[in-house]
Amino acid sequence: MTFRWTLAAPMLLAACSTQPAVPDASEAYVRLAAIPGRPAAGYFLLHGGAKDAVLVGAEAPGAARAELHTSRRTGNGMASMDSIARVAVPARGRVAFAPGGQHVMLFGLPASVAPGSTLPLTLRFADGSATLVAARVIAAGDAAPE
Ligand SMILES: [Cu+2]
């Protein structure tokens, strides 16, 4: 019996090289606030898809609301945050949501969202598409997961 790999192999290679249309996210985690009831912050790395995209919102199950924020230093060295409506995700580019920079602020998370649990974050784009990423939940003082 002879197997016919000659046809199948090039098709597999083609599948691997296609970029997904929608950006996807990795390395997601949510850092809970030190004070219960205060908002948590979500971080992740966005990988641009085949086309430019614009992140316009986020959601998490049970959260009262989620906002896109960016941190900045004020003149007196204090940290402050601004709400942002849109974040450009260039095709094949990388956009980091990281401490000290852009993040998703999660308000009113239920008590079940505790360190060690996983919170699915839905990231919504201007064209109506969305990407889902599982974020590891960590305590306020924990280091970012590897
Ligand atoms: Cu914030």
Residue with tokens 């360190």: 115
DSSP state of 75: T
Distances (CA, A) of 118 to 6, 7, 65, 115, 141: 43, 41, 18, 8, 17
Give the length of the chain.
146
CA–centroid distance, 19 to ligand 1, in Å, is: 31
CA–centroid distance, 70 to ligand 1, in Å, is: 6
- For 28-76, write each residue's pLDDT tens digit: 999 999 998 899 999 999 999 999 999 999 999 999 999 999 998 888 8
CA–centroid distance, 135 to ligand 1, in Å, is: 17
- The confidence score (pLDDT) of residue 36 equals 85
> pTM for this structure?
0.85
Q: Is the pLDDT of residue 5 over 90?
A: no
Q: Which two tokens stand for residue 146?
A: 């590897």
CA–centroid distance, 29 to ligand 1, in Å, is: 14
